[in-house]
Amino acid sequence: MDRISLLIGPIGQLVTAKSMPWRYGDQVLIMENAGIAVDGHKIIEVGSWDTIGGKYEGECRIPAEESLVTAGLIDPHTHLLFAGSREDELELKLEGVSYEEILRRGGGIYRTVSATVGTTDDELRNILLSRLFEVARYGTTTIEVKSGYGIDPSQEIRLLKVINDSINRAPIDVVPTYLVHVPPRGMDRREYINAVVKSLDEVRGLAKFVDVFCDEGAFTVQETEGIFREASRRGFGLRLHADEIAYIGCSDLVREFNIASLDHLLNLPEQNARLIAEGGSVATLLPVTILSLMSSKRPPVKALRSAGVPLTLGTDFSPNSWSLNMQYVMELATYLLGMTPIEVLMASTVNAAYSLGLRDRGIIQPGYLADIIIWDEPNYKWLSYELGRNKVLTIIKRGMVLESTPMGTVISKECA
């Protein structure tokens, strides 16, 4: 018997992609009575329990006869770092007050910017860490975190440093993105973009991606182009908030740039799905935001599927769409967007990893990181089917079992 750190099995149902990215219609691996052998951070073998259970002896073994087992969830689109909240704006929204009017009354994004800029590094670190511990409770094992509520480049760099500080303290992996969010008030736009571009050298090493909010009321296609040109020249990956409020040509930027992910896409023209596929990009859909916008629009899921675009899902956690829970996103993706349970699972694991340029996770196969969820559900269909409950039983991050504490946080523990 080979001694290893962790043995999982027998497993009721193991579901994983076979390769990345996963496209609608691709095969997945569904195995009953399976076993997973983990040593250190990595998966070393996957197979039938008869084989795995007979070959390995784990320092720790977790039986999962009644459970679905999948790769850990990955959230590829969040605005996790900001101070304050805007719950009072919900009532205004319900009264039909427009976002422009809310902005005029001192609400909206600029309010969050003032709150964030007025908060110390230490407080921001605590806010971010507590959110990272909370997302882990819902099964998210890797998360992208955008800056974006500093606006002034020196503030954005401060936020990116806070995000980087969390990397070694969080229970899960964090991927930092520099988001060029909205133009500042009372400053010439061209001057601002020059300042953003100038800051990119300092941002190098602090962010893997540069993201621009390209839309009506945010940055124009031409402004986004200018930022992307300089960012890609410096080796940043690119992400794009595109076609959310209106179509002004933002998604067409895939013709010109290698964009890892185009996100939102509520107003994506159907013919642009093919452009996204040809550009090799992923489409990230954000159903919580569709709810919080109270929008009747939907991204063109069928067109994206038939063009062969890999789909992913994210929380888009922000003061305007307050959910840290990827399971909620998965449920909404089925009921609001018509995505199938298997499609939702692939979107939230393998394709999210792919969109973040992480080729070492999101799949349960030998050599991949042992980021694994054991679910309190018998099969993958329940992840979409059952609404509103935290369905996670056990979270394994890099081969370590995480545990909830009465404080609602998660810590690593020796496997009992």
- Residues near Zn ion (CB under 5 A) are 316
Structure tokens at 396: 């394994």
Task: Tell me how far the alpha carbon of residue 352 is from its chain's centroid.
Answer: 7
**Residue 209 CB, nearest approach to Zn ion (Å):** 12
**Residue 289 CB, nearest approach to Zn ion (Å):** 7
**Residue 309 CB, nearest approach to Zn ion (Å):** 19
**Residue 132 CB, nearest approach to Zn ion (Å):** 18
Q: Which amino acid is at 181?
A: H
**Residue 29 CB, nearest approach to Zn ion (Å):** 32
**Residue 241 CB, nearest approach to Zn ion (Å):** 5
CB nearest Zn ion: which residue?
316
State the CB neighbour count (10 A cutoff) for residue 344: 22
Closer of 173 and 244 to Zn ion (Cβ): 244
Closer of 230 and 316 to Zn ion (Cβ): 316
Closer of 316 and 377 to Zn ion (Cβ): 316
Length of the chain: 416
- Asked if 389 and 122 touch (Cβ cutoff 8 Å), the reply is no
Closer of 316 and 343 to Zn ion (Cβ): 316
| Burial readout 158-189 (b: 16 or more C-beta within 10 A, e: otherwise) | bbbebbebbeeebbbbbbbbbbbbbbeeeeee
State the CB neighbour count (10 A cutoff) for residue 194: 13
Task: Tell me how far the alpha carbon of residue 324 is from its chain's centroid.
Answer: 10
Quick one: CA torsion of 182, 185, 188, 190, rounded to 10 degrees?
A: 0
**Residue 120 CB, nearest approach to Zn ion (Å):** 25
**Residue 250 CB, nearest approach to Zn ion (Å):** 13
Closer of 264 and 391 to Zn ion (Cβ): 264
Q: Give the Å distances, CA to CA, from 329 to 17, 67, 72, 149, 332.
A: 20, 21, 15, 23, 5
Backbone angles phi, psi at 175, to 5 degrees: -115, 115
Closer of 145 and 369 to Zn ion (Cβ): 145
- Asked if 357 and 57 touch (Cβ cutoff 8 Å), the reply is no
**Residue 125 CB, nearest approach to Zn ion (Å):** 22
Closer of 146 and 361 to Zn ion (Cβ): 146
Coil vs helix vs strand at 229: helix
Distance CA 274, CA 302 (A): 12
Closer of 89 and 316 to Zn ion (Cβ): 316
Distance CA 403, CA 95 (A): 42
Closer of 75 and 316 to Zn ion (Cβ): 316
